Amino acid sequence: MKKIINDPADVVAESLRGLALAHGDVLRVQEDPALVIRADAPVEGKVAVISGGGSGHEPLHGGFVGTGMLHAAVPGAVFTSPTPDAVEAAVAATAGPAGALLIVKNYTGDVLNFETAAELAEAEGTPVRSVVIDDDVAVKDSTYTAGRRGVGGTVLLEKIAGAAAERGDSLDDVEALARKVIGQVRSIGVALTAPTVPHAGTPSFELADDEIEFGIGIHGEPGRERIPLESADALVARLITAVVEDLPFGSGDEVLLFTNSMGGTPLVELYLAHGIAEKLLGERGITVARRLVGPYITSLEMQGISLTLLKLDDELTALWDAPVNTPALRWGI
């Protein structure tokens, strides 16, 4: 294992200290429990939007803390859910009378721990709602989940819900909007190599040089099938077909296309894949009205990509375009 680390047990804490030094203009980091919090939190009169989960998926979630997106992120150990007390502490640090919306990826530990935290916070008098995102079309059940996994759509959900909270929407309205996004977003990914968790020291799975895992999860969970390596044209067509036919998306739809690196895929390959995806969607009569390309929800150093499609309307487009100022997304400020 070759990684730029010290003690594997200290990876997350040391990374968070570096995040705070690099982006102290928009966020601060609290230790014990570990939290990433908006620099100006709590924001009076506005709903706090909070998410979190295991580390190793950076910039998700801490890199999306800031104006127009998350008020707080709760990082667990690598690929490990944060504890309920940490999530409750994030609510206490950021939420006022307007309440908090918890955005939870559909993994068993995340769902249970965020639900427990919501109950604890409500017992203290803070209105809390939770939404669970399950946008992965690859498999129904997986190593970490009952039901579909929460993957790339989480990034889009956090941006849109954060923008709604920023403009002053009520908790009811932010929750309803989040559920709308969840109903209209779909994702799938593919892996060329496995990630190596620092404390494990060995790859999560083995792939031959001529194999890829189609439908991989963000923790290295098994996908839909293991297939021979194929051309970019064939692979992206396979991904697009799986996503488009699930919702389904159809001719006349306007979408946001998010082409994501799983951590180890270089931009030259990512832009190549994105270009193919746009072409294939155009052939189906689907208009790509907004785009996001880059490593925004990763799996450590895994080589691979994921594609996410969100069906847009005027409101969702406006909220996506709204100003945002975080370490990973910045525009309109």
pLDDT at 221 over 90: no
User: For position 144, what pLDDT does the model report?
Assistant: 66
Q: Which residues are designated catalytic?
A: 57, 219
* pLDDT for position 164: 98
Average of per-residue pLDDT across 261-276: 98
Hey, what are 151's tokens? 């993957």
- pLDDT for 279-330, tens place per residue? 999 999 999 999 999 999 999 999 999 999 999 999 999 999 999 999 999 9
CB atoms within 10 A of CB 167: 14
pLDDT in tens, 128-153: 999 999 999 998 776 666 789 999 99
Residues 6+ apart with CB under 8 A from 64: 51, 70, 73, 155, 158, 159, 162, 326, 327, 328, 329
Task: Report how far residue 222's alpha carbon sits from residue 209's, in angstroms, rounded to the nearest whole number.
Answer: 17
d(CA 318, CA 107): 30
String of DSSP letters for 253-270: -EEEEEEEE-SS--HHHH
Q: With beta carbons less than 8 A apart as the criterion, state whether 77 and 86 touch.
A: no
Position 276 pLDDT exceeds 90: yes
Residue in this structure with the two tokens 């990630």, named with its chain if needed: 195
Please name which of 103, 119, 123 lies closest in space to residue 47, comparing C-alpha atoms: 103
pLDDT in tens, 227-262: 999 999 999 999 999 999 999 999 999 999 999 999
Q: Are 302 and 195 in contact (CB under 8 A)?
A: yes
Distance CA(211)–CA(226), nearest Å, equals 7
Taking residues 253-280, report their average pLDDT.
Answer: 98
Per cent of the chain over pLDDT 70 is: 99
Strands (E), the chain: 27-30, 35-38, 48-55, 72-78, 100-105, 128-133, 185-191, 211-214, 225-228, 254-261, 287-294, 304-311, 324-325, 330-331
| Residues whose CB falls within 8 Å of the CB of residue 119, separated by 6 or more in sequence, listed in order | none
What string of DSSP letters covers 79-138?
T-PPPHHHHHHHHHHH--TT-EEEEEES-HHHHHHHHHHHHHHHHTT--EEEEEE--B-S
Using one digit for the tens of pLDDT, what is the confidence trace for 34-46? 999 999 999 999 9
DSSP 206: -
Query: Taking the CA atoms of the chain, what radius of gyration do you get in angstroms?
Result: 19
Q: What integer pLDDT is reported at residue 180 of this predicted model?
A: 98
Predicted local confidence at residue 333, as pLDDT = 85
| Cα 332 to the center of its chain, rounded Å | 21
Pairing of strands 254-261, 304-311: antiparallel
pLDDT in tens, 100-136: 999 999 999 999 999 999 999 999 999 999 999 999 9
Average pLDDT, the chain: 96
